């Protein structure tokens, strides 16, 4: 039950960054000609350019329909995601939608954890989506696409400056609107049980196990929300300083008047203080009965919807 719940709230993204700059290198294949015209890339995928910008959709016959949906979601989301971080003109992105795990692993070089549904390669400005995994997941495709788009646009905005993973993942969760009451409850439970990771330890790659990664994503979102929840304009200020100084820590100090490590220490203390009475509630039998029923109902509903969606796609040729 706990493992299933962890998968419900686990963000799908894994970021693959270039050693020196997020935009170093070029994408493996690129569409030629006007938007909508279908060509083929070097790997044999069909390619077309989205009508809303330099976003090149790579797909096969099996993923043609879901690729169209991904394209639609990108066009619907690109404007507000870019505006929130002050990116005036998004650059080119290669979007690969593949049908199964074998092709997904081949595309990513096997670098993605088994719970991952999609990833962003910041070096090649590329988004990879495992269509089969997304269709089996309770997470909406819209959430997955917006999450990865946030990573790629952020990288373009800061011009490859290295930033802590907790900040990038928390921002992506904020921009994909994927925080739920279940996430909130699990955050409180992690604090009460002492299983909450230290934000300072989340500067690099997130933990591999699904449950630990879930906790890392939730803490990252809470930290970013703490920074910008009441002052959203500070986000563009911070990102602009990151781009101009080339140093996240210095940009953070210029924006908030304190170093990142000072913020993380104060943030953890605030979380502990805010939820110190949660333990008494969590130990009550009525509460646990309610939570179990809530989880079972929500999970069953999402599984039913996911199976319906999977059947629809399979009927269209994706198995």
pLDDT band at 189 (very low <50, low <70, confident <90, very high): confident
Among the ranges given (54-68, 110-124, 196-210, 265-279), the one the predictor scored with the smallest mean pLDDT: 265-279
Interval 136-163 mean pLDDT: 94
| 15 has pLDDT over 80 | no
Q: So what's the pLDDT on residue 14?
A: 56
Calpha distance 79→63 (Å, rounded): 25
Indicate if the pLDDT at residue 6 is higher than 50. no
Does the pLDDT value for residue 36 go beyond 50?
A: yes
> Per-domain residue ranges for the chain?
2-274
Lowest-confidence region among 117-126, 155-164, 269-278? 269-278
pLDDT mean across residues, the chain: 82
Distance of CA 129 to the CA centre of its chain: 12
Q: How many whole angstroms separate alpha carbon 261 and alpha carbon 254?
A: 14
Q: Which CATH class is domain 2-274?
A: alpha beta
Best-predicted range by mean pLDDT (23-27, 30-34, 312-316): 312-316
Please tell me the pTM assigned to this model: 0.79
For residue 249, count other CB atoms closer than 10 A to its CB: 14
Check pLDDT > 90 for residue 157. yes
3-class SS at 49? strand
State phi, psi for 91 to the nearest 5 degrees: -90, -175
| CA 121, chain centre distance (Å) | 12
Give the mean model confidence (pLDDT) for residues 62-72.
97
Q: What is the dihedral of CA 91, 176, 151, 217, to 10 degrees?
A: 180
Output the pLDDT for position 275: 75
* Average pLDDT rounded to a whole number, residues 174-178: 92
pLDDT at 277 (0 to 100): 59
Q: 59 with 46: CB under 8 angstroms?
A: yes
- Give residue-wise pLDDT tens across range 98-135: 999 999 999 998 888 888 899 999 999 999 999 999 99
Distance CA 202, CA 12 (A): 16
């Amino acid at each position: 039950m706990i493992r299933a719940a962890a998968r419900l709230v686990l963000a799908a993204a894994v970021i693959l960054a270039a050693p020196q700059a997020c935009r170093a290198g070029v994408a493996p294949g690129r569409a030629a000609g006007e938007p909508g015209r279908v060509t083929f890339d070097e790997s044999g995928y069909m390619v077309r350019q989205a009508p809303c910008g330099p976003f090149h959709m790579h797909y096969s016959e099996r993923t043609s329909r879901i690729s169209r949906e991904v394209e639609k979601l990108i066009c619907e989301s690109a404007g507000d995601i870019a505006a929130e971080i002050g990116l005036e003109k998004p650059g080119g992105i290669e979007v690969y939608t593949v049908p199964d795990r074998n092709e997904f692993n081949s595309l990513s070089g096997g670098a993605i954890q088994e719970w991952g549904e999609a990833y962003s390669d910041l070096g090649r400005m590329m988004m990879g989506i495992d269509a089969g995994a997304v269709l089996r997941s309770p997470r909406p495709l819209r959430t997955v696409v917006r999450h990865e788009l946030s990573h790629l646009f952020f990288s373009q905005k800061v011009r490859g400056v290295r930033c802590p993973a907790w900040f990038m993942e928390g921002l992506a969760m904020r921009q994909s609107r994927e925080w739920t009451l279940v996430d909130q409850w699990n955050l409180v439970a992690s604090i009460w049980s002492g299983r909450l990771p230290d934000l300072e330890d989340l500067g690099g790659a997130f933990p591999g196990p699904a449950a630990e990664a879930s906790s890392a994503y939730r803490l990252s979102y809470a930290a970013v929300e703490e920074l910008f929840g009441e002052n959203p304009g500070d986000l563009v200020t911070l990102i602009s300083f990151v781009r101009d100084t080339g140093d996240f820590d210095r940009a953070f100090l210029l924006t908030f008047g304190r170093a990142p490590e000072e913020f993380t220490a104060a943030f953890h203390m605030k979380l502990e203080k805010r939820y110190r009475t949660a333990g008494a509630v969590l130990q009550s039998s009525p509460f646990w009965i309610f939570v179990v029923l809530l989880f079972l109902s929500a999970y069953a509903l999402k599984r039913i919807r996911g199976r319906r969606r999977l059947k629809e796609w399979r009927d269209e040729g994706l198995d």
